[in-house]
Structure 1
Amino acid sequence: MKNIVILISGRGSNMQALVEANIPDARIAAVLSNNPQAAGLAWAAERGIATAALNHRDFPDRAAFDRAMADKIDAHAPDLVVLAGFMRILTPEFCRHYENRLINIHPSLLPAFTGLHTHQRALDEGCRIAGCTVHFATAELDNGPIIAQAAVPVLDGDDADTLAARVLAAEHQIFPQAVADFVSGSLKIVGKRVINARRRQAPPALHA
């Protein structure tokens, strides 16, 4: 059984998708947040999951907060730490501490549109395809090895909110599967690539 600690900052819809997926051989050990008012904390607590919050504003700097958060995380002996809408830039020390067991989901097809406001930026650039990416988190923002991606169409009538809703639905599909693949031992990092033993076979050839 693999212990998973999930970090959130708000309602935690991706956290909810992970919990509801009931991933085999995985235990959601805790849900933690940098926001004491995060709605996702109450949702997790109602389901008997341990929760805690550390307000980042109570710490003198980012490094001090990350050390305190790491102490909270490590109390649950995690095999995997999942960033599910955790809206904090992490220090290199934090990322190194959880190297190769820290997974993030980002609402764009990385390496495009790292950082914030991804949906509006995709619209401003005239993209016809948008999507989301699950990746191993590293000290370089939104630049770790990619585990999985999903693409969605950008429709002519879209604004940032409608596109975000379509991308979020895709996130809820690929995030639990990516975590399940980690738990099962299917993932192997080779340089910047993630090799997934579950997907070794090539997809069927496309036909004109």
Structure 2
Amino acid sequence: MLSLVVLISGGGSNLRALLEASEDAEFPARVVAVGADRDADGFEHAEAYGIPTFATALSNFPDRDAWGEALVEQIEVWQPDLVILSGFMKLLPPRVIEALGPNLINTHPAYLPEFPGAHGVRDALAAGVQQTGASVILVDNGVDSGPIIAQQRVAVLPGDTEHSLHERIKPVERELLIQAVLDIANGHINLKELATA
């Protein structure tokens, strides 16, 4: 049984999907704690399932490295097998990635390496592409540049707005994340091998 710490910044829809999946006794992973870089709305999902939460705000620390050290300390209390960045909108300092990798994965609303960064959906629309997608990746020291675990295309429809396109990407992202967690738990994906490939 994989133990998961999920890091969020917003509403936590992927977190909710993981919590719902883990209601199935056959699902081989359980969320043990939820963290954020602020008092996130998604904490409501954790509280509904009785999952402990913690917030580690960058503004409370003198610099990013000190914040990263504190974040690692909070996460390591739970001794997770896997840490999932799910809508976590802060870049992690190298020390955090070194401490938690390769068992550190991220979801992204684009078909990487296309449209990395905080505005993947907006950037896809601005580029006028006919399709974008969703990805689950290993976290490295770049911006959405780690090895790809899973991804799927999503069509851009005429008249799409950033909101309408993102709403169609989200369910694909959730499915990819849950399947990735399953594949990691069942040994179909080896994160150490992926990190060194």
Using structure 1 for the length normalisation, give the TM-score: 0.88
User: For the residues of structure 2 that align with 1:85 and 1:184, how far apart are their CA atoms?
Assistant: 25
- 1:31-110 correspondence runs (5 A): 31-36=34-39, 38-110=40-112
Note closer, same or farther for the CA distance 1:60–1:187 as it changes in structure 2 (3 Å cut).
same
Tell whether the 8 Å contact from 1:14 to 1:84 is kept in structure 2 after alignment: yes
- 1:182-201 correspondence runs (5 A): 182-188=184-190, 189-190=193-194
**Matched residue, 2:157:** 155
**Matched residue, 2:171:** 169
Deviation at 1:12, TM superposition (A): 0.6
Using structure 2 for the length normalisation, give the TM-score: 0.93
Note closer, same or farther for the CA distance 1:87–1:190 as it changes in structure 2 (3 Å cut).
closer
Q: Name whichever of 17-26 and 40-49 sits farther off.
A: 17-26
Cα deviation code 1:102-122 (max 9, x no counterpart): 000011110011102111211
The letter for the 2-side match of 1:50 is P
How many residues align? The count is 192
Displaced runs of 4 or more, over 4 A: 190-193
User: For the residues of structure 2 that align with 1:40 and 1:30, how far apart are their CA atoms?
Assistant: 12
User: For the residues of structure 1 that align with 2:153 and 2:140, how far apart are their CA atoms?
Assistant: 23
Do structure 1's residue 6 and structure 2's residue 9 form an aligned pair?
A: no
State the Cα RMSD in Å.
Answer: 1.4
Cα deviation code 1:121-158 (max 9, x no counterpart): 11121110111100010111111110100111111111
Tell whether the 8 Å contact from 1:133 to 1:148 is kept in structure 2 after alignment: yes
**Matched residue, 1:26:** 29
Query: What SS is found at the alignment partner of 1:113?
Result: coil
User: For the residues of structure 2 that align with 1:170 and 1:192, how far apart are their CA atoms?
Assistant: 27
Query: What SS is found at the alignment partner of 1:71?
Result: helix
User: For the residues of structure 2 that align with 1:192 and 1:160, how far apart are their CA atoms?
Assistant: 35
User: For the residues of structure 2 that align with 1:90 and 1:190, how far apart are their CA atoms?
Assistant: 20
User: For the residues of structure 2 that align with 1:87 and 1:172, how far apart are their CA atoms?
Assistant: 17
Tell whether the 8 Å contact from 1:130 to 1:152 is kept in structure 2 after alignment: yes
User: For the residues of structure 1 that align with 2:118 and 2:4, how far apart are their CA atoms?
Assistant: 26
Gaps of 5+ in 1: 194-208
Query: What SS is found at the alignment partner of 2:146?
Result: coil
Percent identity among equivalent residues? 40
